[in-house]
A and B are shown apart, each in its own frame.
Chain A
Amino acid sequence: MSFALRAGETLGLVGESGSGKTTTCMSIVGLLPRAARIVGGSVLFEGEELTTKSQRELRAIRGRRIAMILQDPMASLNPLFTIFRQVAEPAFFHQRLRGRSLRSRVQHLLKAVRIPSPEWRMREYPHQMSGGMRQRIVGAIALAGGPSLVIADEPTTNLDVTIQAQYLDLLKDIQRETGVALIFVTHNLGIVAKMCDRVAVMYAGKIVEQAPVRELFDDPKHPYTRALLGSVPKLGNKDPLYAIPGQPPNLASLPSGCAFHPRCPEALPRCADEEPIDFHPGAGHAARCWRLDEHAAASHGRSHS
């Protein structure tokens, strides 16, 4: 798989559970479990190759230049430390700030994530805050090192809708102010529609389609993307939803050929045997589906007749 992302851009990584989206993110920052390994390929960050770096070098990059926001803020925060201590940590270690300058840095960060009365709130502990507030604290910690890339892994799944909207708007504001690039890992196409500039759709460990967000919603080329878009209820539309038949595949025993072919309504005979390659139906648009090959051939044939 391959994808690229420019400064200030937001990439949505969409997929169901087990589609490999979290693994992808973890491999970017070198946090894979020991048993797993990156088989091939490279991760370039600001021109530097990350896969060949040692754990030690990666640690210097993680937290400072690449930060992560995870799904469960309670698991990311240490219940025994004050908010101040947790937000201050990166500035303390990486920027070597102390005393008053450290305190004003923390207040600045908390203000950036819209925590009301930060000088008072930073003395509190995580359990004294609401879920939305905690997730914003995690955001403040992520921003503390002044990262150029933030990877957000389903950061709003546990939040209520109005709180989720507040949080997403906040992330957008921060992006506008700091120019940070975002990778948004989610299963929710609504979040993609709201937040992202480009989208990569994952199925069974592979990116099956990648496109600018509007193009993906208007003209999805991969049957899985189309099915996914058709299966989401839309306000003001009560037509029956498109239900993808079957169950998501088990990564340990993937179907042959195209992993989606057993559930695909448009599968061709070759889909069961040959794994599709990337086709490029438009600028910046790529999809792995044999149908596109046929379309190309058919339109080719027509233009000749």
Chain B
Amino acid sequence: MRLAPPMSIRSRREAPLAAVVILAALVLVAIFADLLAPHDPTLPVPGANVFDPPFWMEGGSTAAPLGTDFQARDILSRLIYGTRVSLIVGLMGTLVAGAIGTLMGILSGYIGGWVDQVIMRVTDAWLALPAIVFAIFLAAMIGPSMWNIIVILGAVYWTRYARVIRGEVLTLREREFVKLAEIAGASKLRIIKRHILPNVANTAMVLASLTVGVVIIAEASLSFLGVGVPPPQPAWGLMLSEARPTLLAGQWWLTVFPGVCILLIVLATQLFGDWLRVKLDPQQRNL
């Protein structure tokens, strides 16, 4: 008789090592950007020309190891500081979205009645709008800045939380320990704080880990479109945008490096989120 459990089950229990390493590295880079970056990311590298290639290529120098951009700024330094923007926007945007969405989901699911109706119709309306178009519209209205982007992305991506959390709350509400609290005379606020919130926390965490990547891409897109992080701040999306005119001129380092960075961070957060989901959500409900 075969006794060993299938490999897929066992391997899924262990954290994805590559993802954790990448994420840890990126976080460290973001924290110690001031120490790591060789140059000021907003000023030209002294003595360098515009569009210097990476150091291993003809005409490159170790002063700007990954080359320079159209203002002779150091690509490496800009990438390092860009990590900061991406992580801050990704995490804070997710936090804002998660906070709004979880609150709305709990109100909708637990209070019910017309509150539920209003919140669910709003999420319907939200889902009908293409997220990025909606974000561009909001950004154009309140003006570009990193903190505005965070608020905007939070306001755009909360609906997913609201729907999932509401579903969770609807079943929680019927659980006997919630009934017991009601019978003991607990107020609605107390029930939400003590009984509902702790029991949806896992779901919110899993959703958050899966949303981070989406928010980072959205930030990059907004910056690329010129309504995100304003220049001269270094953001990966903005770097792509600034490199666009030279894309076909052979200066590939301007686009490839920020592109790879975005790819790495999104891939790592998704892998990590996937693992977290298996770990925290044993029923695997495809959130």
> Complex formed: what's the CA distance from A34 to B3 in Å?
7
Per the bound structure, the CA–CA distance linking A35 and B6 in Å amounts to 11
Number of A-B contacts (CB under 8 A): 6
Chain A nearest CB from B9 CB (Å) reads 12
Interface flag for B2 (CB, 8 Å): yes
Could you tell me the dominant secondary structure of chain B's interface residues?
loop
User: Smallest distance from the beta carbon of B4 to chain A beta carbons, Å?
Assistant: 9
User: Chain B, 2-29, contact with A by CB distance < 8 Å: what is the 0/1 string?
Assistant: 1100000000000000000000000000
Residues of A within 8 A of B125 (CB): none
Count of chain B residues with Cβ under 8 Å from any Cβ of A?
3
Residues of A within 8 A of B1 (CB): 34-35, 37
- A35 proximity list for chain B (CB < 8 A): 1, 3
CB distance from B8 to the nearest CB of A (A): 16
Min CB gap A298→B, angstroms: 47
Chain B neighbourhood of A37, CB < 8 A: 1
A35–B5 Cα distance when bound, in Å, is 9
Separation of A35 and B3 alpha carbons in the complex (Å): 5
Which chain A positions have C-beta within 8 A of B3?
34-35
Q: Taking CB as reference atom, which chain A residue is nearest B5?
A: A35
A196-210 contacts to B, CB under 8 A, are none
Closest to A32 in B: B1
Give Cα A35 to B2, complex, Å. Answer: 7
Which residues of B sit under 8 angstroms from A34, Cβ to Cβ?
A: 1-3
Interface string of B94-105 (1 = CB under 8 A from A): 000000000000
Q: Nearest chain A CB to B109's CB is how many angstroms away? A: 28
Least CB distance from A252 to B in Å reads 16
Residues of A within 8 A of B2 (CB): 34
A237, B22: Cα distance in complex, Å? 71
Q: Which residue of A lies closest to B2 (CB)?
A: A34
Instruction: Please report the C-alpha to C-alpha distance between residue A34 and residue B5 in the assembled complex, in whole angstroms.
Output: 10
Q: Closest CB-CB distance, A65 to chain B, in whole Å?
A: 25
Chain B residues numbered 221-238 whose CB sits less than 8 Å from any CB in chain A: none
The closest CB in chain A to the CB of B1 belongs to A37
Chain B: which residue is nearest A33 at the CB level? B1
Chain B nearest Cβ from A194, distance in angstroms: 33
Q: How far is the CB of B181 from chain A (nearest CB, A)?
A: 27
Within 8 A of B (CB), among A1-52: 34-35, 37
A interface list, Cβ under 8 A from B:
34-35, 37
Top-4 shortest CB links A-B: A37-B1, A35-B3, A34-B1, A34-B2
* Between-chain CB contacts (< 8 Å), 6 pairs: A34-B1, A34-B2, A34-B3, A35-B1, A35-B3, A37-B1
